[in-house]
Chains A and B, each alone.
Chain A
């Protein structure tokens, strides 16, 4: 803090309490730099929300530590809460209040003066296009409006670190683009942002750095570009043959530009290669000569989805 630096760090081995105990985080450790947009990418149940919970005083880890800046999250909770803003996965608005009152009371909990909180509430309502609904009870709000209000509320006390748990789940494409703009704007003010997502495009478009999480562990951590570059070849060709043999595998391996050939859990074959479409005619003729007719082809360009698949053997949407 003194140096203006701001780091969110977490190293946790956590588990949720309900019996039987489920290990949600398994030795996950990461360090987020000040001013960074950091993404946790992984399928549902990977441990992303638990990581956010541990860093925001909401989920007590069974072991390990978490810091926000120089503050230990579990020893200096009040100080930590001043520094963080949290956008939950599911809206949790106070149904007894209007949209504007939700913002005003939130700011009051943080000790903001009356004039300041009124001004800030009005400007955030304007920014999130909620001004015309400001004095209505939130009960009747649509999912997108609730989500926008959640983000406005998290920003009310001007936190240095903003946590967004699956911010664009259930949002229409238009609102999602507005959300991305808002996140980038807030980041330009020098704030640190940690978001979880299972949308590849979102992680790719927004994040400076990404951690790919599965089963409570970090599988890979780097910039989206570096991560994508780390996939062998970059292109992924998912193939299906009428009759799959080991001989066919070896011959696929020998094609120019092919980096890796793997059977996938279905009856198919995954080929990681430097090129995409131009390989298909060669594969088709090779398959025909081996008596295994090519029946299905799917080509994907270098993407984080492929990376996840490469590391886990599973698709993100599984």
Chain B
């Protein structure tokens, strides 16, 4: 394993992220903050939503921000670099096993996803104003959830980025990610689906359910949520599957 090459590639990604910091900031935070403002501030303030909804909404928003950021950070550059600019070629010729190049992308995506999740908390808190009842009961559980959700988003980005064609990016968002987010228990807890028993079972194949429910379990345990252990296990499962698929697809794309 060539750690120097791995470190240099990570440094390159950090350098590019710093250069695009302002763009990245808006791309990552604008949409979740608008959501928080409309649902948490406007709807609650006007009495259409109960005051507790603020606390219920926040973990879901954190999960979405992380998932979107990780997928975007890994998938979009890979799609462009493999199909359009071919700029990844220079890294594929670096003296390192090419699987580590994919893993570097995943690590960079995980860092961005984790930062997005952690930064959205105080920002959303500011937008929501008073009455947000979140607290970290078990820091270890919280760290584990953040790590596994980051890994899920980055590995998902790797698998998608190496499987999608450039012309399918729009489809990826409208047909895949949007339904995943709406059926991902992001704006409501999983228990709210009780009245729709079939749907409630069906959404369990959606990894975002475990991301939002896991966040809910560690940040707002006063609301009903899936068991934290189950969410951790499910996230770990999805992380591994997506990483294996992603690495395989990467290898296929990288070597003709």
Residues of A bordering B, CB below 8 Å: 16-17, 53, 56-60, 77-79, 81-82, 84, 86, 88, 90, 92-97, 101-102, 105-106, 108-111, 153
- Whether A81 touches B90, Cβ cut-off 8 Å, given contacts A59-B256, A105-B8, is no
Quick check: A97 and B5 within 8 Å, CB to CB?
no
Interface residues of B in 63-92 (CB under 8 A from A): 85-92
**Complex CA distance for A211 and B89, rounded to whole angstroms:** 26
**Whole-angstrom distance from the CB of A162 to the nearest CB of chain B?**
12
Stretch in B12-20, B32-40, B162-170 with 4+ CB within 8 Å of A: B12-20
Q: Which residues of A contact B2 (CB under 8 A)?
A: 78, 111
CB distance B9 to A59 under 8 Å? no
Inside 8 A of A60's CB, which chain B residues have their CB? 255-256
Chain B's closest residue to A16 (CB) is B256
Sample 26 A-B pairs with CB under 8 A, ordered by A number: A16-B256, A53-B256, A56-B93, A58-B92, A58-B93, A78-B95, A78-B96, A78-B97, A81-B93, A92-B85, A92-B86, A92-B88, A92-B90, A96-B16, A96-B19, A101-B15, A102-B90, A105-B8, A105-B11, A106-B90, A108-B5, A108-B8, A108-B12, A109-B90, A111-B4, A111-B5
Residues of chain B contacted by A108 (CB below 8 angstroms): 4-5, 8, 11-12
Instruction: Looking at the assembled complex, report how far the CB atom of A301 sits from the nearest CB atom of chain B, in whole angstroms.
Output: 40
- Closest B residue to A56 by CB, please name it: B93
CB-contact partner of B90 in A56, A82, A94, under 8 A? A94
Bound CA span A58–B92, Å: 8
Say how far A6's CB is from chain B's closest CB, in angstroms. Answer: 17
- A95-B85, A153-B90 given as contacts; is B95 within 8 A of A109 (CB)? yes
Binding site for A on B (CB under 8 A): 2, 4-5, 8-9, 11-12, 15-16, 19-20, 85-98, 255-256
Q: In the complex, what's the smallest C-beta–C-beta distance from B198 to chain A, in angstroms?
A: 40
**A110-B94 contact in complex given A96-B16, A97-B16, C-beta closer than 8 Å:** yes
Cβ–Cβ < 8 Å partners of A90 in chain B: 86
| Closest CB in chain A relative to B186 CB, distance in Å | 31
Selected contact of A109 from candidates B85, B96, B98, CB within 8 Å: B96
Closest to B87 in A: A94
Residues of B within 8 A of A97 (CB): 12, 15-16
Q: How far is the CA of A109 from the CA of B2 in the complex (A)?
A: 9
A150 smallest CB distance to B (angstroms): 9
Known contacts A59-B255, A60-B255, A88-B89; 20 additional CB pairs below 8 A are A17-B256, A56-B93, A57-B255, A77-B97, A77-B98, A78-B2, A79-B95, A92-B85, A93-B87, A94-B87, A94-B90, A96-B16, A97-B15, A97-B16, A101-B15, A105-B15, A109-B5, A109-B94, A109-B96, A110-B5
Q: How far is the CA of A92 from the CA of B97 in the complex (A)?
A: 20
Q: Which residue of B lies closest to A95 (CB)?
A: B85
**Which A residues are in CB contact (< 8 Å) with B5?**
108-111
Most B Cβ at <10 Å: residue of A78, A90, A97, A101: A78
Query: With a CB–CB cut-off of 8 A, which chain A residues contact B256?
Result: 16-17, 53, 58-60
Once the chains are docked, how many angstroms separate the CA of A160 from the CA of B255? Answer: 23
Given the interface contacts A105-B8, A108-B11, does A81 sit within 8 Å of B16 by beta carbon? Answer: no
Inter-chain contact B8/A109, CB cutoff 8 Å? yes
Contact B4 A86 (CB under 8 A): no
- Bound-state Cα–Cα, A78 to B100, Å: 12
